[in-house]
Amino acid sequence: MAQWLPSLIGLRVLLRRSTPMTRPGRAVHRILSFELYSIPLEQHASVRQKLEDLVQENPRLRAEVHIEHDRLFVSGEDELQLLELRLKVIQRELAEPGNLKVNYLETVLGSAEAEHSYLRDTGGSRNYGYCKLRVEPGPRGSGLQFLYDLDNEAIARQSVQAIEAGVREAAQGGTLQGCELVDLKVTLLTSDCDEVGRHEMSLRIAGAMALREAAKQAKPIVLEPMVEATIDLPTPFMSSVMEDIHARFGRVESISQTVDGLLIRAAIPIAEVLRSSARGRSGYTTRFLRYEPIKSKGSDGEAGAIVRNPWPPHPRGSATAVKF
């Protein structure tokens, strides 16, 4: 059904997509990325600098070079720009680039509490840490908020920083697909520990485990990046286009009349746009909209409860690979 797309939309749409207009100072949305491999430790800093110089060569390029868990990534929101960057990395032999990936996230819909204690005796010395947390949804775009009340006698003052560190570390790995947990509030209710300094790791472990347990009970869901696809087409083909949009788990947000026909704006998962592009059938112009819960076609369950993407998640990361 999607075979009509390039021939109908025409060269002008494809040109608009290949030379996107960018706004100075606009934040880069890390919805797509590729990782760099085979970089000797002593060359890590120099390779990162070369990558940043490569990004700066094109003032229209919307991409970032960043490090997560000691791994080097290049991220952005435009498929063609990142593929061009990836090719330049290969040509200049800077590193071995991985496949382009879609970055998913996780969040929670409900509220839950959990507690965890970590106790270990090593060489006659006791390592002990304990905490109880409450997890609940936070405002969209708020990331992770860690809250506590030091006037609460049930909270050991010296334990807060260590527990927060464990919570934030655990949030990076999520609970469902290994994606980062975002837009949630974590409240420290109670804590306990032995001598501070010596048992920081015990508190970090307790905080991490309590966060994972609470998040699992708080109706966790997977979020996927949505893009606004702009499709310019003749009026007679409207029904075919609508069918194709729905087949890609998208929805039409607006339809307007143009001199030549219709202009349709639809919200479509970026993974569906990439999948069509990999087959040589993509003619969309796109821009990032927002993250939304993943929906399965024909499913009666809650959005985000069923993960429909066909590729396995990246180990301990928030990305899913798309092979080209």
The model's pLDDT over 86-134, given as tens digits with 9 standing for 90+, comes to 999 999 999 999 999 999 999 999 999 999 999 887 766 778 899 999 9
Can you tell me the distance from the alpha carbon of 33 to that of 45, in angstroms, rounded to the nearest whole number? 19
Domain at 110-218: CATH code: 3.30.230.10
| Domain spans of the chain, in order of start | 110-218
The model's pLDDT over 275-313, given as tens digits with 9 standing for 90+, comes to 655 444 445 577 899 999 997 654 444 555 444 443 333
Amino acid symbol at 133: L
High-pLDDT (> 90) share of the chain, %: 47
Residue 167 pLDDT > 60, yes or no?
A: yes
Amino acid symbol at 155: I
Q: Which of 88, 25, 78 is nearest to 52 (CA)?
A: 88
Can you tell me the distance from the alpha carbon of 288 to that of 80, in angstroms, rounded to the nearest whole number? 14
pLDDT for the residue numbered 31? 93
**Could you tell me which residues are beta bridge partners of residue 101?**
33, 321
Mean pLDDT for the stretch of residues 42-56: 90
Can you tell me the distance from the alpha carbon of 5 to that of 233, in angstroms, rounded to the nearest whole number? 9
Beta strands in 138-250 (DSSP E): 144-147, 180-181, 184-193, 220-233
Amino acid symbol at 206: A
Average pLDDT score over the chain? 80
Can you tell me the distance from the alpha carbon of 55 to that of 45, in angstroms, rounded to the nearest whole number? 16
